[in-house]
Amino acid sequence: MNDTNVILVTGVAGYWGGRVARRLLNEPDLHVIGLDTEPPENVNIEALDYVQADVRNPLLPDLLNAAGVDAVCHLAFIGGVRRNETRFDTNVMGAMKLIGACAESRVRRLVVKSSTMVYGANANNSAFLAEDAPLNGGRRYGYNRYRLEIEAFINGFRRQAPELEMTVLRFANVVGPTADTPFNRYLRGPIAPVLLGFDPLLQVTHEDDVVEALAHATLGERSGPINVAADPPMPLLRILALAGRVPLPIAHPLAYQAVRWLGSSRLGKAIPFEPDYLRYRWVADTERMREELDFFPQFSGDEAVETVGTHLRLERYKPTADEMAYDEERLQQTIARRRQSAAAEEAKEVENG
């Protein structure tokens, strides 16, 4: 770690921004500023230096300079399947304006969260996709298209501002008990479609490791794109088995037809990404994660998926409000009977004593 003292986290009211801010607040001698258009609900607002503003605000360079921000962790991003002007303006234009503001100010490092989906799933993919592989990801779904556009801008901007260290962490499928991600929605959905005759190798990353990797990169000194994923890559059918899901084989033409309207059908909603990602290999090389970022996920691939399975089982057996009321009534009756029995025993002892 270096002498980074002031860190700004964008999107602090969101899931990832809030979690990363809470993680960074545990670091000694570190001033954390949270930026968002609304106050965060799950962050200690007294410990956090909260600023209510949009990343597109033209005064952002002045704020960065005035606060002496050393590093920015950019997590203001609106997910979603469908593309629209609001999401484009927030995600893509917001990232562009933030990057420009960092270059204008004294910020030394910018960390951006991305996905290995930007590589795309293709029959011609190499066994392991290194960070310099072409970004041929699917553009049908909004969240992946925006990631690709942001990365394209960053790649071009590096030459204009070489003094700004820009780190892009490309995470494999993020899974866990609480994160709302495309692959988590797939694992938790009412059905788990698979393409008949295909069982591709996939990678996952546990949600806690995502937070740790973002914090580690923000405090670190590495720049450039870095793949982040747990070992080992696993066949899709094994992942479903670990999550306790029963696969539903379907012919791949049907899957492509189902997602053509971006999830409007029941089957389309069960596949929140392009079917190619369930058909072809898109395994990322993680050597740079270990050798240069010096980051090692705490959860193996098996362990990460098992946390999803455990959470699903707990939800399945969670009692309803009526069941809880019935259990409470039954427990009260049991307590009353035991009190009566104890009182009778005490009275009997007094009588015999």
Q: At what angle do helices 94-104 and 60-67 cross, to 10 degrees?
A: 50
145-172 residue pLDDT tens: 999 999 999 999 998 899 999 999 999 9
Enumerate the β-bridge partners of residue 9: 34, 73
Place of tokens 């002031």: 6
Mean pLDDT of 48-69: 96
| Weakest mean pLDDT among 180-194, 228-242, 288-302 | 180-194
Q: Given the DSSP bridges, would you call strands 173-175 and 192-195 parallel, antiparallel or unpaired?
A: unpaired
pLDDT tens digits for range 194-231: 999 999 999 999 999 999 999 999 999 889 999 999 99
* C-alpha angle 292-223-227 in degrees, rounded to nearest 5: 60
Instruction: Name the strand (E) or helix (H) holding 114.
Output: strand 109-115
Sequence-distant (≥ 6) Cβ neighbours of residue 16 within 8 angstroms: 75, 77, 113, 210, 211, 214
- Grade residue 1 by pLDDT with cuts at 50, 70 and 90: very low
Query: Average pLDDT over the chain, rounded to whole?
Result: 91
**pTM flag (> 0.85):** yes
Dig out the tokens for 4 from the structure. Answer: 């980074």
Give pLDDT, residue 42.
81
Q: Tell me if 45 sits within 8 A of 70, measured CB to CB.
A: no
- pLDDT tens digits along 304-346: 999 999 988 877 666 566 655 666 777 888 888 888 888 888 7
**pLDDT for the residue 280:** 96
